[in-house]
Structure 1
């Protein structure tokens, strides 16, 4: 089961979109960046999707402080993203994602699909 913390100015829209999936294997937690940053630092099985007007600064600022820049990725205003692209990011250790509010409906479904289907490499 994937746990995804969501926050930022578009968290209500993000929550509504994810609830429409009606997916019992998806645990969505409305949070804020400070709370989620602390939780993700302790948990390796959780992710964060932050939203702001650009998908960069405000959506990921606190997460960069908690996890480090190397564990965060912004899609910003990028409208096209593939499951394969996201899975490469996941394989590289990315766990916090920033999305602009006007790209929620385009980027987030692909992002969540990739998170749910991701199988970490076995060591």
Structure 2
């Protein structure tokens, strides 16, 4: 499995957290938003994660433009972290790109990555 980290904030830190949580179950790359979203569209990456201040703007703008809203989900925004059930449901629906606020990365990434691993059987 390949996960690309995009977004506007904390890419290095997010990639480090993803790598630790995935514990060798995925290849992690950091790319610009356009390259990351295009890579998902072309099948180079399985999932895209990104952070910004709103959870949907800079985190997902390119993914939304290239992949469409049916493939993208905002899993946190200022003052609101989506529930574990919501995040799991979005993964099960086949969403491939996930945006969140940088300050919520420690809360949402474990839930998101666990749901992805369960869906992918890794």
Q: Taking structure 2 as the reference length, what is the TM-score of the superposition? A: 0.85
Distance (whole Å) between structure 2 residues aligned to residue 63 and residue 99 of structure 1: 13
Distance (whole Å) between structure 1 residues aligned to residue 54 and residue 82 of structure 2: 15
Gaps of 5+ in 2: none
Distance (whole Å) between structure 2 residues aligned to residue 19 and residue 91 of structure 1: 22
Deviation of 1:87 (Å) = 3.0
Distance (whole Å) between structure 1 residues aligned to residue 44 and residue 88 of structure 2: 16
Q: Counterparts in 2 of 1:77-88, with a 5 A limit?
A: 77=77, 78-79=80-81, 81-82=83-84, 84-88=85-89
Gaps of 5+ in 1: none
Question: Per-residue CA shift, 1:81-113, capped at 9, x if unaligned?
Answer: 31x433321222211000100000000111111
Determine helix, strand or coil for the equivalent of 2:81.
coil
Distance (whole Å) between structure 2 residues aligned to residue 80 and residue 64 of structure 1: 19
RMSD across aligned C-alpha pairs, in angstroms?
2.0
Question: Per-residue CA shift, 1:35-90, capped at 9, x if unaligned?
Answer: 011111121860000110111111000001110011110023233531x4333212
Q: Counterparts in 2 of 1:1-123, with a 5 A limit?
A: 2-8=1-7, 9-21=9-21, 23-43=23-43, 46-77=46-77, 78-79=80-81, 81-82=83-84, 84-119=85-120
Distance (whole Å) between structure 2 residues aligned to residue 45 and residue 22 of structure 1: 15
- 8 Å CA contact 1:51–1:59 kept in 2: the answer is yes
